[in-house]
Amino acid sequence: MTNKNESTFEAKIEKIEEIIDNLQSSKVGIDDSLILLEEAQNLAIECNKILSNAELKFSELREKFSSNDNLEKN
């Protein structure tokens, strides 16, 4: 993994990609594969939360700007 902050969305996606590469290499045993799959699943859940929060913020901003536009038109 690179030196990126592991809490960023991009770092989580990069880690998932690394896990996929490791799983596809066939050099990982079954026990390690299960651990990697669980880690990838947890990262995917975290990414989904980040995207959901971003979507909520975007909706709030869109609503705020829409309200401001309506006020300016009056």
Tens of pLDDT, residue by residue over 22-35, are: 999 888 899 999 99
When divided into structural domains, the chain yields a total of 1
In a domain, 47, yes or no: yes
**In this structure, is residue 60 part of a structural domain?**
yes
Residue 13 maps to a domain: yes
27 within a domain of the structure (yes/no):
yes
pLDDT of residue 50: 95
Q: Is the pTM of this model over 0.85?
A: no
Task: Quote the strand ranges of 3-61, DSSP E.
Answer: none
32 vs 25: CA distance, rounded Å: 13
- For the CA atoms of the chain, what is the radius of gyration? 19
Q: Which residue has the tokens 């066939």?
A: 26
Residue 20 placed within a domain: yes
Structural domain contains residue 4: no
Residue 20 domain boundaries? 9-73
Tens of pLDDT, residues 50-65: 999 999 999 999 988 8
Q: Which residues contact 28 (CB under 8 A, 6 or more apart)?
A: 22, 36
